[in-house]
């Protein structure tokens, strides 16, 4: 059985703009501005069905990180440096300030962690962030990516760093 040329990961992405657009739409419609209200409603519906993802094309040596709204993808292809290995790392959500929205952190410190899969590459870029989520899902995704690219997978989530694949 041959492995497919493209690797694809996609995840639903909630946008804060969606409820905001609904409120603006209602305000426009109440005041009789039907064109503005319907435009805000359409934009809000598009934002409600948004996904973020990554596609890695090994045949073309390129990758694309994108945002998808219904069937429209926003993102461009970039050259893929030579991949070295895949790593799973632990991140603390309370110290992550790059998220688009404020994150509600649980009171217990164990619940305040998430895990991230990175594709470590050679060159200036050092790594490409693939996805993040729970440990079990990210371990499965990292192994899947490692098998697809035929490279090793490093579990960097505990004190005992170990090769999973």
Q: Is residue 55 predicted with pLDDT exceeding 80?
A: yes
DSSP-derived pairing of the beta strands 152-156 and 83-92 = parallel
pLDDT in tens, 99-155: 555 555 455 555 567 899 999 999 888 999 999 888 999 999 999 999 999 999 999
Q: Is 65 in the same domain as 116? A: no
The domain containing residue 75 runs over which residues? 1-79
If asked whether residues 21 and 88 sit together in one domain, one would say no
The answer to whether residues 87 and 28 belong to one domain is: no
């Amino acid at each position: 059985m041959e492995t497919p040329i493209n690797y694809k990961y996609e995840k639903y992405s909630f946008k804060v703009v969606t409820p905001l657009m609904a409120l603006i739409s209602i305000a426009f419609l109440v005041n009789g501005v039907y064109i503005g209200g319907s435009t805000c409603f359409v934009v809000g519906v598009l934002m409600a069905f948004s996904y973020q993802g990554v596609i890695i094309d090994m045949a073309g040596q390129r990758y694309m990180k994108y945002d998808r709204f219904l069937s429209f993808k926003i993102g461009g292809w970039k050259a893929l440096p030579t991949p070295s290995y895949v790593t799973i790392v632990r991140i603390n959500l309370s110290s992550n300030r790059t998220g688009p929205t404020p994150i509600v952190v649980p009171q217990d410190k164990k619940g305040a962690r998430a895990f991230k899969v990175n594709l470590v590459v050679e060159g200036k870029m050092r790594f490409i962030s693939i996805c993040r989520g729970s440990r079990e899902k990210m371990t499965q995704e990292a192994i899947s990516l490692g098998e697809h690219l035929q490279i090793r997978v490093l579990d960097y989530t505990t004190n005992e760093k170990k090769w999973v694949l």
